Structure 1
C-alpha cells in the first residue's frame, strides 16, 4: 500500500511540476572523465508501458497515435524484444565496461512519456542490470513529441531515476575516457522533417513540433551545433539526433531535409549518431561516417534494405526477413575512433562489426 501511495504521489508531481523548461533552452552537460571503459549508443527502445487502448476506446478516433492498429498489434512482440535486448544490453556493458549511454531517441512509445508509471515500466524496471546503473543522456525522437506533455515529463524524469539526464531539448556533453575526449551535441531532429511540418494529419505534427519548427528555432539548432562544435577542443566530435541524414532504409531522409545541419556536420567533420531506422547499420558518404543505432526493441528488415548493400552501406545487421537487436559502443585513441556493434543473436563476448574512423577520412561516395 505504501509503495502505491508513493507512486501515485510521484505521478501527480511529474504531471504538474515543470522544473526544466520544455521549450528552447540549450545547455552544457559539463565534462565527465573516466580512466577506462566505453560509451554506449542505444536507440528506439521504449515500448513497454504505454496505454494500449481497446477497440471500443478507439472507435471513431483517427487510426494514429495510441490508436494506430499496426502499433497496437506490434505491442506484445515489441515488449518481448525490448525486454530481451535490455538483458543483452546489460551483458554487453558488463563485458565492455560502459561508462555512459547516449540515446538516439524514441525513448517512449507510442505518443511519448505519458506518466510516472509509464517511466517506471519502460525504464526503471526495464534497465535493471548493475552495468546499466550509469548516466543516460537521451535525445528526442518523433514518438517522444506526440503528446503535448511528453517532452516536459522527459525533461523532469531525472527526479525519479538519477541515471536519466536531459537538461533541455538540445544540449552538449563532453566525456573523456582513457584521456580521449569526446564531444556530443544532442539535437531535436523532428522539427527538421518536412513531412511532419507540412502534413497536419501526421501524428508528429504536434504542439511540441509547432513550438520548435519555426524558421528561427530551426536556425537556432543549426547555430547551436555550429558553435558547440567550433568551440570544442575534443579529439572526436559528434552530432546525436534521432533522424538519419543517410539511411539504409529505402525511404531515407535526404540531407536537404535537414535544413543546413548537414553543412555544419561537414564543416566540422562530425561523426553522426542516429536512430529512427529500426536497425543497426553503418554508412559512409561525403567524407562522413553515419552510425545508425535503432535496434533497442522492435526491428525492421526493410529499414536495413533487407540486407542488400548499396554502395554507401558498409554494414547492416539485417537480411531478407529479419533485423537483429543490439547496440554500439564507442572507444579509441586520439587518432582512431572505434565503433563496435553488438548483435543479440551473436552474443555479448565480441562485436559483430567494428568500424575504425580516422581524422580527415575521404570517401568517394557523394550523397
Structure 2
C-alpha cells in the first residue's frame, strides 16, 4: 500500500476512473432539445388546436370536447394539435403497455381532422408516472400521431413553437410528501434547468420565424386556481420579454383564459379545460395584467396564423365560440 500521499500506477489509474465516474454524475451533459419541422399550408398560413389537462378515459366531458375539436378541426383545416400537458390522469402512464394511452387518447380523439400530428409537453401529473414511457418513441408505434418530449423546438415556417418542460421549475413538487415524481433525466435539478434555459435562449435568439410561441404546462400569468407560477416569472418570463415572444400557451389551471401583458406584446393563453374543470375558479382580485377572458368550464382553443396576423378563438364543450382575439404583427396590438 502506498504511503505519504503517493499511489502506485495501478491505484492512480483506478482513482482516475473513479473520479471521472463521479464527475459524470455531478456534472451531467443534457442533450440539446430536438428540432422538428412542420410545413405550413401552401398559402403560408397555419392553424392548430390547443387542448390541455385531458386524459380521463373520456370522462368529465373529455369525449364532448374531443367531438367538438373534430368539428372545428375540420372547419379550420388544422395542421396539428398542441397538448399543454397533464395528458394522463391521475398519475401519468405506468409504462409502455398502459391501456390508459389508448383509452384516453387513441379511442377518444377519433375524428378525421384530428388524425394529425400531436405535439405534447409533460404536466405535473405526467411526472407522477413513468415519464420515460410517455416520451418513448415506442408509443408512436401504437399511435403515430403521438409526439411527447420534455422540451423541443418546432419550426412551422411562419411560426416557431418552443415547448418547455416546466414541471422541474416548481419548487413545491420537490418537497411534496403526498406524491412520487419520476425525476429521472432531470437531476441534478439546477444543472437541468440551467441547460434548458440556455438552450431556449439560443433557440429564441436565433429564431427567424414571424411568430414566436412558447408552450409549457404551468401558467406564467393566471387568474385561476393555481395562479401565477413564481419560478416561471422569475426564470422564464424575462427571457420571453427579451426575445419578443408573442404568446405563452399553457394548461395546468382547468379553465380557458386570455391575459394580455401590460408591459410587452405577450399574450398569456390558458387552455387546460380538456376534461375536468373547476367551477368558481376565478380569482376576482387578479389585477396584475389585463384579464380579457376567463371561463371555468370545459373547452379548447384554436390558433390561426398568417404572415401578418394572428387569431385566437376559445370554444366550450358544445363548440360555441366564447372569446376571439386578433392581432396584426406590424402593430403588435389587438383589435
Shorter-chain TM range is 0.7 to 0.9
Are 2:139 and 1:161 equivalent residues in the alignment?
no
For residue 325 of structure 1, report the CA deviation from its aligned partner.
1.5
Which of 261, 275, 279 aligns to 1:301? It is 279
Which of 73, 84, 97 aligns to 1:93? It is 73
For residue 357 of structure 1, report the CA deviation from its aligned partner.
3.3
Q: Which residue of structure 2 lines up, in the alignment, with residue 275 of structure 1? A: 251
Distance 2:237 2:60 in 1: 36
Distance 1:144 1:47 in 2: 12
CA contact (8 A) 2:55 2:275 kept: yes
Which of 30, 34, 38 aligns to 1:27? It is 34
Q: Which residue of structure 2 lines up, in the alignment, with residue 355 of structure 1? A: 325
Matches within 5 A, 1:50-69: none
Matches within 5 A, 1:170-249: 170-176=151-157, 181-197=158-174, 199-203=175-179, 206-208=181-183, 211-212=186-187, 214-249=189-224
Q: Which residue of structure 2 lines up, in the alignment, with residue 260 of structure 1? A: 235
TM-score, normalization by structure 1: 0.74
Are 2:298 and 1:325 equivalent residues in the alignment?
yes
Matches within 5 A, 1:330-341: 330-341=303-314
SS in 1 for 2:79: strand
Q: Which residue of structure 2 lines up, in the alignment, with residue 313 of structure 1? A: 291
For residue 299 of structure 1, report the CA deviation from its aligned partner.
0.7
Q: Which residue of structure 2 lines up, in the alignment, with residue 3 of structure 1? A: none
Distance 1:353 1:104 in 2: 19
CA contact (8 A) 2:46 2:306 kept: no
Give the number of the structure whose alpha-carbon radius of gyration is greater: 2
Which of 126, 129, 148 aligns to 2:108? It is 126
TM-score, normalization by structure 2: 0.81
SS in 2 for 1:155: coil
Distance 1:151 1:239 in 2: 23
Distance 1:334 1:210 in 2: 38
Gaps of 5+ in 1: 1-22, 49-77, 318-322
Distance 2:167 2:278 in 1: 20
Q: Deviations over 1:238-264 (max 9, x none)?
A: 110000000112541344445521111
Gaps of 5+ in 2: 1-29
SS in 1 for 2:155: strand
Distance 1:229 1:309 in 2: 29
Distance 1:151 1:145 in 2: 9
Q: Would the alpha carbon gap of residues 340 and 116 (structure 1) be closer, same or farther in structure 2, given more than 3 Å must change?
A: same
Q: Would the alpha carbon gap of residues 238 and 89 (structure 1) be closer, same or farther in structure 2, given more than 3 Å must change?
A: same
Distance 1:97 1:299 in 2: 27
Q: Which residue of structure 2 lines up, in the alignment, with residue 141 of structure 1? A: 123
Q: Deviations over 1:123-147 (max 9, x none)?
A: 1111101110001000110011112
Distance 1:304 1:130 in 2: 35
Distance 2:282 2:322 in 1: 16
Distance 2:280 2:187 in 1: 30
Distance 1:38 1:211 in 2: 32
- Higher helix share goes to which structure? 1
For residue 212 of structure 1, report the CA deviation from its aligned partner.
4.4
Q: Deviations over 1:69-93 (max 9, x none)?
A: xxxxxxxxx7141111111111111
Q: Which residue of structure 2 lines up, in the alignment, with residue 63 of structure 1? A: none
CA contact (8 A) 1:191 1:212 kept: no
For residue 305 of structure 1, report the CA deviation from its aligned partner.
3.2
CA contact (8 A) 2:84 2:121 kept: yes
Q: Which residue of structure 1 lines up, in the alignment, with residue 8 of structure 2? A: none
